[in-house]
Structures are given as structure tokens and as C-alpha cells.
């Protein structure tokens, strides 16, 4: 079974309202032209000894300042600066795309009147169940599926989304949907929730992810894509087997009355092994509970048989982890298939060594 990777509207959209793109993930050996064009951005193999680096002693850094000083000599700084300048001078550059998206959001925020303004700022005591707040404060390692949101917050957010959808219809405003695989739903960041969701990621998702998902950048999350999706009659019915465009995904059921829609998970994979089969121990099924959160890689949603189901999703991303992946050559510690290949290689190596020793013993006996 092949796995599609959902691409968010933020990374691939056009401001004319078209959806983003879906693409099949392939192994690093089949690089796209875009990937090949970005190869010059990688670190130099040999340092530039003529470069005079900056002094980082006076900055509050997480690492020794000497590391940053040394790293400068390995960076292709001229290439980086050329790319940055090209973005500002190219009419199709990144700056234009970002500016248009900013204008799109600003147009919505200026025209849309929120139904519940208190939703747009973070208030943990009002939003979360006490057990979740306590778990965050204790930095517990016991959570995977957990109670998170209060029922009244879920209801309030649902009514806010419904109010936004009514405004979209009445004003005949064409909005961008969350991704190319969901035809229904709304991007929360686009109508004022960006700051609140940033705080949700920084103060509540990261403390969990740095424990459970440290190996995939869980402690360096620095951007997000927040949205709601809708399933049911006259809406999306199911959601195919896929991988989110995120390092960590927070998926919370908001309501309403429904049956079906269970999630099924099939293990964690790197890009190279994203289409490989799963092992029995990697299979996990989850039935939605309102206010309860769950998160993992490679999953799908079964059909919602009746009623309406609405979920809040927060795709959390780590630019540092994505950059480091470019230089990874050995097996990923977090990929189930990589670990199986590693164990198999070790087994074959041990078997070959034993066979060689037995042959030597046989030769010595014959002599």
C-alpha cells in the first residue's frame, strides 16, 4: 500500500484558492529537481580557512559559542545570500508568496467578526482538563492518548468555526481548505488563531513531544499548521492512509454526535521506507473520544458511518530536524523498518563471522 503525504496549503498553495498538492514519498535516491537544486545549501566538506567568523560569546546560546564560530567556515554563505536576494528580486519568489498569504489572512481578519473572542488567546485553566495541565507541569512520560480539552471549550470552538463558515458563505469569500485531501474544514491560522496555536505548541505540545518524539525533532518544534476537518454526511467520509507534513501531530476530536471514523496507525517510517509494510506489533486502532488527543505517524481514518465528526489538528514542524535529515546516512533510530534492516545486517554479519571462524578451525584441524 502506498502512502500519500499531505502537503499543507501554506507550503504549496496559490492565492487564487486552489488546493495544495499531494505527492508520493520516494526514497532519497530519487531526488527531485528541486532537491538537486538545493544541494548547494549543504555544509562544505572542507572548511573555508580564509573566512573570518563572527564572535558569538555575548549571545545566549544553547551550545558552546565556539561551535557556531567553527560552523561558519563550513557554510556556503555566498550561496545562502544569493538565494535570499533572489527571493526578493524574483517576481515568483518566496517573498511574494508570503506577502500574498499575509494579505489573504489580513483581509479575513479585518472582515470576520469572531463569535467568541476569548478563544483567540491561550487560557489553560479554561481550555484544558485538570489532568492534562497537571501532566504538563509534571512532565509525565505516561501519556500517549490522553484527555486534553474541556467539553465547553470544544463546543465554543465548534460554534466559532460554524460562525466562520457562515461568514464565508454570506460574504462569498473563497477560502483555502486545510490540505488537498480534505475538501471540508478551515485553517484556524487564517482567521486569527495563529498566536494562540503558537502558544499551544510552545507551552503544551512541546513538553510532551520532547519526551515521546525527541528523536524526530520533538524538542525543536518551531512552526505549525492548525486547522479543523469535518467528516460525515455531505462532508469528507474517510481519510486515506497517509503521513502528515509534520514531525508531531496533535489530533483532538471536538465532536459532535457520530459513529465510525476510527483511526488506524501503522508504525513510524522515514522517507525511504514510507511505503513499506507494517509489522503486527505496529498496528494500533483508536476510537475517537471528544476532548481526547492522540498523535503518531502513518495513519488513516475509517469511514464516519453516521452523524458529524470534527477534529482539531495541529501539525507541528521542526526546521532543525528537517535540515539534519539531509545529512543522515545511517539507519534512523526512530524508523521501524530502519531498525529491522539494522538488526538483519547485524545478524548476517555475526553469521558470516561465525562461518569464517568455523572454516579456520576446520583448516587448522586438517593441517
Please give the residue that has the higher pLDDT: either 195 or 295. 195
Structure confidence at residue 240 (pLDDT): 65
In degrees, rounded to 5, the angle at the alpha carbon of residue 210 between the alpha carbons of residues 204 and 211 is: 105
> Which residues, other chains included, contact 153 with Cβ-Cβ below 8 Å and sequence gap of 6+?
119, 126, 127, 128
- Residues 266 and 326: beta-carbon distance below 8 Å: no
Segments making up each domain of the chain, as ranges? 4-30+112-334, 335-367
Dist CA 240 CA 283 (whole Å): 16
Please give the residue that has the higher pLDDT: either 77 or 96. 96
Residue 330 has pLDDT above 70, yes or no: yes
Please give the torsion angle defined by the CA atoms of residues 120, 124, 126 and 129, in that order, rounded to the nearest 10 degrees: 130
Residue 266 has pLDDT above 90, yes or no: no
The grid coordinates of residue 35 equal 532537491
Residue 253 has pLDDT above 80, yes or no: yes
pLDDT digits (tens, 9 = 90+) for 198-223: 999 999 999 888 877 888 888 899 99
pTM: 0.60
Structure confidence at residue 25 (pLDDT): 24
Residue 105 has pLDDT above 90, yes or no: yes
Structure confidence at residue 138 (pLDDT): 55
Dist CA 45 CA 56 (whole Å): 23
Structure confidence at residue 53 (pLDDT): 77
Structure confidence at residue 238 (pLDDT): 62
- Residues 5 and 274: beta-carbon distance below 8 Å: yes
> Which residues, other chains included, contact 223 with Cβ-Cβ below 8 Å and sequence gap of 6+?
316, 317, 319
Average pLDDT, the chain: 75
- Reference 70, options 89, 51, 84, 85; nearest CA is 51
Residue 229 has pLDDT above 70, yes or no: yes
Burial pattern 67-76, b for ≥16 Cβ within 10 A else e, equals: ebeeeebebe
Q: Which CATH class is domain 4-30+112-334?
A: mainly beta
Amino acid at each position: 500500500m502506498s502512502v500519500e503525504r499531505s502537503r499543507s496549503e501554506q507550503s504549496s498553495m496559490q492565492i487564487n484558492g486552489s488546493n495544495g498538492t499531494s505527492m508520493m514519498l520516494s526514497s532519497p535516491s530519487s531526488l527531485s529537481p528541486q532537491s538537486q537544486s538545493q544541494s548547494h545549501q549543504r555544509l562544505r566538506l572542507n572548511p573555508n580557512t580564509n573566512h573570518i567568523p563572527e564572535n558569538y560569546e555575548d549571545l545566549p546560546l544553547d551550545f558552546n559559542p565556539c561551535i557556531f564560530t567553527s560552523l561558519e567556515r563550513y557554510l556556503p554563505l555566498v550561496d545562502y545570500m544569493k538565494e535570499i536576494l533572489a527571493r526578493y528580486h524574483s517576481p515568483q519568489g518566496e517573498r511574494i508568496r508570503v506577502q500574498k498569504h499575509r494579505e489573504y489572512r489580513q483581509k479575513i481578519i479585518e472582515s470576520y467578526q469572531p463569535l467568541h473572542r476569548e478563544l483567540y488567546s491561550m487560557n489553560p485553566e479554561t481550555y484544558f482538563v485538570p489532568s492534562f495541565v497537571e501532566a504538563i507541569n509534571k512532565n509525565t512520560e505516561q501519556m500517549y492518548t490522553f484527555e486534553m480539552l474541556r467539553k465547553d471549550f470544544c463546543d465554543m470552538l465548534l460554534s466559532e468555526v460554524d460562525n466562520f463558515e457562515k461568514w464565508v458563505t454570506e460574504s462569498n469569500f473563497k477560502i483555502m481548505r486545510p490540505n488537498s485531501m480534505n475538501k471540508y474544514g478551515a485553517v484556524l491560522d487564517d482567521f486569527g488563531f495563529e498566536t494562540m496555536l503558537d502558544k499551544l505548541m510552545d507551552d503544551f505540545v512541546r513538553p510532551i513531544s520532547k519526551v515521546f518524539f525527541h528523536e524526530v525533532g520533538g524538542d525543536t518544534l518551531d512552526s505549525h499548521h492548525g486547522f479543523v476537518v469535518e467528516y460525515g454526511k455531505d462532508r469528507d467520509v474517510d481519510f486515506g492512509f497517509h503521513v502528515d507534513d509534520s514531525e508531531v501531530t496533535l489530533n483532538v476530536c471536538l465532536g459532535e454526535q457520530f459513529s465510525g471514523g476510527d483511526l488506524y496507525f501503522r508504525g513510524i517510517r522515514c522517507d525511504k521506507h514510507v511505503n513499506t509494510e507494517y509489522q503486527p506489533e505496529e498496528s494500533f486502532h483508536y476510537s475517537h473520544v471528544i476532548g481526547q488527543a492522540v498523535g503518531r505517524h502513518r495513519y488513516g481514518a475509517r469511514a464516519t458511518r453516521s452523524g458529524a465528526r470534527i477534529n482539531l489538528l495541529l501539525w507541528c514542524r521542526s526546521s532543525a530536524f528537517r535540515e539534519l535529515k539531509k545529512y543522515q546516512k545511517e539507519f534512523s533510530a526512530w524508523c521501524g523498518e530502519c531498525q529491522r534492516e539494522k538488526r538483519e545486517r547485524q545478524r548476517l554479519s555475526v553469521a558470516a563471522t561465525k562461518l569464517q571462524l568455523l572454516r579456520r578451525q576446520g583448516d587448522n584441524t586438517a593441517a
